[in-house]
Amino acid sequence: MTTAFYDRIFELAPEFRPMFPADMSALKHDFIAKLAVLVGSLDEATGLLSGADVLGRNHLRYGVRPEHYPVVGEALLWSLARGLGPHWTDEVEQAWRKVYAIIAERMIAIGASSPASPITNTPRLGP
């Protein structure tokens, strides 16, 4: 899934490739581990949001800008759909879209905030 994910990012936005290392094996492992932590935090908004905060700060250092997030989101959904096959239903897709939107918004907000102005707008995970 991670290979398909990154291949799809580079297919959609080849200009992103220089932002990544030549050897992607460690990054792929790290990505799937962080995704598992975020998914494991879905029942607890605090854990999910603090995980997104860390990712947002890290991605800002890598040069990620707000306009990159939609491309990555589409690559993620595309690779999940292929990985889950018949288990990828409309309901599953909508749930993933919602979770990705919350995480991406939080990561973007962290990148836009300064240490002097903490984020006070906490998105709701519930309906």
Query: What integer pLDDT is reported at residue 124 of this predicted model?
Result: 39
Structure-model confidence comparison of residues 119 and 47, the more confident one? 47
pLDDT of 28 > 90? The answer is yes
| pTM (2 d.p.) | 0.78
Q: Which string of DSSP letters, residue by residue, matches 17-82?
A: GGGS-S--HHHHHHHHHHHHHHHHTTT-HHHHHHHHHHHHHHHHHTT--GGGHHHHHHHHHHHHHH
Query: What integer pLDDT is reported at residue 46 of this predicted model?
Result: 67
Give me 125's structure tokens.
Answer: 């995970």
